[in-house]
A and B are shown apart, each in its own frame.
Chain A
Amino acid sequence: MMNDGELITAVKESFSRVHAATPLEVVVRRGRARRARRWIAGLAGAGALAAGAALGVTLLVPGAGPGEVRLAAWSVATRPGGTVTVAISELRDAARLQRTLRADGVPATIRFRNENPPACLYYPYYPQEPRKLDLLMQRIFPQIGFTSSSTGAAFAINRSAIPRGAGLWINVIPPQTRPGPAGSGIDTVGFSTAWALVYASGHCPSP
């Protein structure tokens, strides 16, 4: 019969090959993004102007200036340095959002339904090196978060990080609650957002 000490040792040994793989710098970057999320959250809420002023971001009403559009459903703002912020509260008028982003220099394709991009449009960037792709997408989307309603999606796009010839497929589907693994007590609530790199031209290269 195992005593308590032997049992504890056995349980610990069964996990001894488990090691955290995330580098410190990734955690710190995530922390910075989390801290910055406050201003992203403010974009779609009543506090948008105050948050923008505090950070030197000029937030304007629709028509008040180039590169800035605020609708009830979503808002887009261009910050100094070229980062474009997007806050989506309602899944309406995807075509106009797409046009707005393209006018701001973001080669985006926007979908507000659960739809895969056509396979032929995948941009073959680091196809065999998913970690590099992950890091690239973190550079393209340096900040992510929620809108002030907590169910909306908000993110920033760094235009200069998008590879030449590539476009962004951004797919947002409605809020939903999904149970996590059995017994984990973790649920996912809010918009689900997915992305992919595609060819900006909309055409596949010749084989």
Chain B
Amino acid sequence: MDFAEFYSASRDDCLRAVLASVGNLDTAQEVVDEAFARAWVAWRKVSAHPAPQAWVVRTALTAGVSAWRRRRRELPLGAGWESVHPDPASGAGRDEPVDAEAMAALLRLPVRQRQVVALRIFLDLDTNRVADILGIAPGTVTAHLARAMAALRGEFAPLRQRETS
């Protein structure tokens, strides 16, 4: 698989996994873009990785955000700046692609539980691979996942009932 095929096949899942972890679409898109750029640079190594998608997500979650564009956005530049040069990624006026209550439910989870959920659900990784990526024991992954699923069940069940009623 060449990089273009990998990017086409993986970018949505990677973005969703990172979004579920960081909770902000702009931040998620930025760090995923950076991670894919790093994957392009190191494609020979990444393509040989047992789970290249996991490499991208881990890189996105752990890499310091060193991109110019991100630093630029974070400047406290005052009202005039935004009105003259609106940032295309600011999200203003954009339809939110994630249900707000579902996102809020995920964000109420502790960070580590959220990361485990993101890697298990969106990348479909097994326990050992998640443990390897997060640098924790497989048993800890299992415990985090069980707690997260219990918490999410309590949050999502009412949402599902509301949708079907």
Contact = CB atoms under 8 A, between A and B. Distances in A.
Q: How large is the interface on A (under 10, 10 to 19, 20 to 34, 35 or more residues)?
A: 35 or more
A112 interface: no
Interface stretch (A18-26, A42-50, A59-67, A85-93): A18-26
Contact of B88 (A28, A33, A134, A193): A134
B97 A11 contact: no
B71 A19 contact: no
B14 to A, nearest CB: 7
Q: Is the interface of A mostly helix, strand, loop or mixed?
A: mixed
Interface string A1-40: 1101011101110110111111010111011011100000
Interface stretch (B31-39, B125-133, B135-143): B31-39
Interface stretch (A101-109, A114-122, A159-167): A114-122
Contacts of A6: 160
Given A7-B153, A194-B77, A19 B15 contact: yes
A20 B84 contact: no
Contact of B98 (A18, A114, A180, A183): A18
B114 to A, nearest CB: 7
Q: Is the interface of B mostly helix, strand, loop or mixed?
A: helix
A33 to B, nearest CB: 8
A155 B68 contact: yes
Contacts of A24: 4, 7-8
Interface residues of B, number: 69
Interface in A119-154: 119, 122, 127, 130-131, 133-134, 141, 144-146
A192 interface: yes
A22 B29 contact: yes
Interface string B52-93: 000000000110111110111011111011001111100000
Interface of B: 3-4, 7-8, 11-12, 14-16, 19-25, 27, 29, 31-34, 36-41, 61-62, 64-68, 70-72, 74-78, 80-81, 84-88, 97-99, 102-103, 106-107, 111, 114, 117, 121-122, 149, 152-153, 156-157, 159-160
Given A18-B97, A186-B22, 10 more contacts: A15-B122, A19-B15, A20-B11, A31-B39, A34-B38, A35-B41, A182-B107, A186-B27, A186-B31, A196-B81
